[in-house]
Amino acid sequence: MATRETTPGAILPPPRMTTGKVGWIRNNLFSSPSNGATTIIVAALTLYLLWLFVDWAFGTADWSVIPTLGGTLVLGQYNSDSVCPSNDCFWRPQASLLIAMTYFGILWAVAATTLVRGVALTTAFVAAAMALLPLPFDEMGMDVRLLLVANIPAVFLGRWLGRNTPVGSTRNLIIIAFVGFITVYFLLRGIEGVPGLYPVPSRFWGGLMLNILLAAGGITASLPIGIMLALGRRSNLPVVKMLCIGFIEFFRGVPLITLLFMSQTLVPLAFPRDFPLDEVTRAGIVITMFSAAYMAENIRGGLQALHRGQTEAARALGLPPWNTTTFITLPQALRNVVPAIVGQYISLYKDTTLVFIIGMLDILHMGSSFIGSNREFLPHSRELFLFIALVFWVFNYGMSYVSRRVERNLGVGER
């Protein structure tokens, strides 16, 4: 009784209205009257806001505030006349960056994951791209630019080292990281009497460099501390467990800013007056501890989500508890919480801006003190802070983008 309009069984292309550009627009923008109305209203609103923004950004806005600040946004007063009289200290942070890049290269060769490769290459190329900034040469000399470009060879040098020399073993990586941090510390702080290493006290470390230094220290140290806290909290030793719970809940329960204040008022009292624990290090330790407490909770979540069978199988095979943890449960748990760990790294990097409130010379301090002392730039503070926002956004969005790619590759999100 059915009237056949088509040959039964023929493979036909879908109706024109459901595929292709037209079909896509119909399905996603005008699938129903209410959907169509939404599209029109939202589009109108978006275009209006976009127009307002473009009109401001290319019309009234004056972006000259950013080149005027120039290097001080990046290094703070590190290379200024009062801190480094001969103005030749700029190469030291740059050399530190090269060391970090070489290390990233080694990691890339060893870990061979999208995450590490993405981080290594992106950082190197972004740093190198800075060399092309259209600043006059008396503000950003050829030497500075060349050192920036050198980041690309540095990353590949590291990769070569990682592949062809034994630096890539876990033990060597830890040793190199340790040596690297100490080298960078003395490179930045300088050594009295050594030519070219004019001492720069840590309170003059500033600008984006300070944010990155605090973040780098925190990122390196908060993961192992977080793992220990997480394991401690799951331990069956009541004393250890209580201590870890107390630590985690205390650091998660109070705002970071109050901890930072305590690090500047209470903590120094516990040490002798001449103890070499400067403000920057203290702030770094507090930020790391704060982040480690959150990290511990993320990792604990990963451990809890693991099936009991994993531990039981490992124990049944005769693996001692410590090996069960390091080779069976922890790797799986960490892999499952990669997105949470990266999220915590992003938080940590964002939190480094809080040192501004306790008077350190980070990028926000450089920006707002400049506006404060040059009132003619006050109307253009929006441009400056939008720029600073973008600096953080690029880094953080990049990290979360790469971590989502990793998540997809590992199939973590499919469970």
Partner 1 sequence: MTNGDASDNGVEDIIIARDVHKWFGSFHALRGVSTTVKRAEKVVILGPSGSGKSTFIRTINRLEEHQRGEIIVDGITLSNDVRNIDAIRREVGMVFQQFNLFPHLTVKDNITLAPMKVRHIPRAEAEDTAMGLLERVGIPEQAEKYPAELSGGQQQRVAIARALAMQPRIMLFDEPTSALDPEMIKDVLDVMTELAQSGMTMLIVTHEVGFAREVADRVIMFDEGMIAEEAPPNEFFINPKSDRAKLFLSQILH
Partner 2 sequence: MADQPRGILTYQGIPVWRHAVLIQWALQIISAIAVVTLVVWFFSNVAFAINDRDIPFGWNFFGRSYGTPVPEHALPFNDSTDSYAYALLVAAVNTIILAVAGVILAIIVGTLIGIARLSPNWLLSRLSLVYVEFFRNVPLLVQLLFIFYFILVLPPITETYNLFDVLYINNAGIAMPQPTLSSGIAPGLGWVAAAGAGVFLGYTVYKLRNRREIVTGAVSYPLLTGIGTAVGIAAVAWVAIWAMAGDTPLGLSIPAPDDRFGRIEDGLRVRSGAIVMLVGLVMYTAAFIAEIVRAGIQSVSRGQTEAALAVGLKPVGVLRNVTFPQALRVIIPPLISQCLNLTKNSSLAPAVGFADLTNVGITMTQTAPAINIFLVIMLAYLAMSLAWSAVGNFYNWRTRIVGT
Footprint of partner 1 on this chain (CB under 8 A)?
1-15, 18-19
Q: Tokens 């120039």 label which residue? A: 70
Say what the alpha-carbon torsion angle 201, 203, 209, 214 is, to the nearest 10 degrees: 110
Of 2 and 142, the one with the shorter C-beta distance to partner 1 is 2
Give min distance, CB of 29 to partner 2, in A.
6
Instruction: Choose the contact partner of 9 out of partner 2, partner 1, none; CB within 5 to 8 A by kind.
Output: partner 1
Binding range to partner 2, per CB under 8 A, among 91-99, 116-124, 193-201, 250-258:
250-258
Of 141 and 379, the one with the shorter C-beta distance to partner 2 is 379
Residues in contact with partner 2, counted by CB under 8 A, come to a total of 56
Two structure tokens written together for 233: 């909290």
Site for partner 2 in 333-362 (CB under 8 A): 346, 349-351, 353-354, 356-357
Q: Tokens 């006050």 label which residue? A: 378
Of 83 and 256, the one with the shorter C-beta distance to partner 2 is 256
Give min distance, CB of 387 to partner 1, in A.
43
Instruction: Choose the contact partner of 367 out of partner 1, partner 2, none; CB within 5 to 8 A by kind.
Output: partner 2
Instruction: Choose the contact partner of 6 out of partner 1, partner 2, none; CB within 5 to 8 A by kind.
Output: partner 1
Judge residue 76's burial from the number of C-beta atoms within 10 Å of its C-beta, 0-12 exposed, 13-18 middle, 19 or more buried. Answer: buried
The CA-to-CA distance between both ends of the chain, in Å, stands at: 48
Of 17 and 37, the one with the shorter C-beta distance to partner 1 is 17
Instruction: Choose the contact partner of 174 out of partner 1, partner 2, none; CB within 5 to 8 A by kind.
Output: none
In three-state form (DSSP H/G/I as H, E/B as E, the rest C), the secondary structure along 125-194 is HHHHHHHHCCCCCCCCCHHHHHHHHCHHHHHHHHHHHHHHCHHHCHHHHHHHHHHHHHHHHHHHHCCCCC
Give min distance, CB of 93 to partner 1, in A.
52
Give min distance, CB of 231 to partner 1, in A.
31
Instruction: Choose the contact partner of 265 out of partner 2, partner 1, none; CB within 5 to 8 A by kind.
Output: partner 2
Q: CA angle 101-106-107, nearest 5°?
A: 95
Of 105 and 362, the one with the shorter C-beta distance to partner 2 is 362
Site for partner 2 in 184-243 (CB under 8 A): 236-240, 243
Instruction: Choose the contact partner of 382 out of partner 1, partner 2, none; CB within 5 to 8 A by kind.
Output: partner 2
Of 75 and 388, the one with the shorter C-beta distance to partner 2 is 388
Give min distance, CB of 305 to partner 1, in A.
19
Instruction: Choose the contact partner of 255 out of partner 1, partner 2, none; CB within 5 to 8 A by kind.
Output: partner 2
Give min distance, CB of 311 to partner 1, in A.
25
In three-state form (DSSP H/G/I as H, E/B as E, the rest C), the secondary structure along the chain is CCCCCCCCCCCCCCCHHHCHHHHHHHHHHCCCHHHHHHHHHHHHHHHHHHHHHHHHHHHHCCCCHHHHHCHHHHHCCCCCCCCCCCCCCCHHHHHHHHHHHHHHHHHHHHHCCHHHHHHHHHHHHHHHHHHHCCCCCCCCCHHHHHHHHCHHHHHHHHHHHHHHCHHHCHHHHHHHHHHHHHHHHHHHHCCCCCCCCCCCCHHHCCHHHHHHHHHHHHHHHHHHHHHHHHHHHHCCCHHHHHHHHHHHHHHHHCCHHHHHHHHHHCHHHHCCCCCCCCHHHHHHHHHHHHHHHHHHHHHHHHHHHCCHHHHHHHHHCCCCHHHHHHHHHHHHHHHHCHHHHHHHHHHHHHHHHHHHCCCCCEHHHHHHHHHHHCHHHHHHHHHHHHHHHHHHHHHHHHHHHHHHHHHHHHCHHHC
Binding range to partner 2, per CB under 8 A, among 76-84, 138-146, 301-309, 364-372:
364-372
Give min distance, CB of 28 to partner 1, in A.
13
Among positions 12, 142, 269, 316, the unique one binding partner 2 when judged by CB under 8 A: 269
Site string for partner 2, 365-404 (x = CB under 8 A): --xx--x------xx-xx--xx-xx--xx--xx--x----
Of 19 and 164, the one with the shorter C-beta distance to partner 1 is 19
Give min distance, CB of 37 to partner 1, in A.
17
User: Which chain residues interact with partner 2 by CB under 8 A?
Assistant: 28-29, 31, 35, 38-39, 42-43, 46, 236-240, 243, 250, 252-258, 261-262, 265-266, 269-271, 273, 346, 349-351, 353-354, 356-357, 364, 367-368, 371, 378-379, 381-382, 385-386, 388-389, 392-393, 396-397, 400
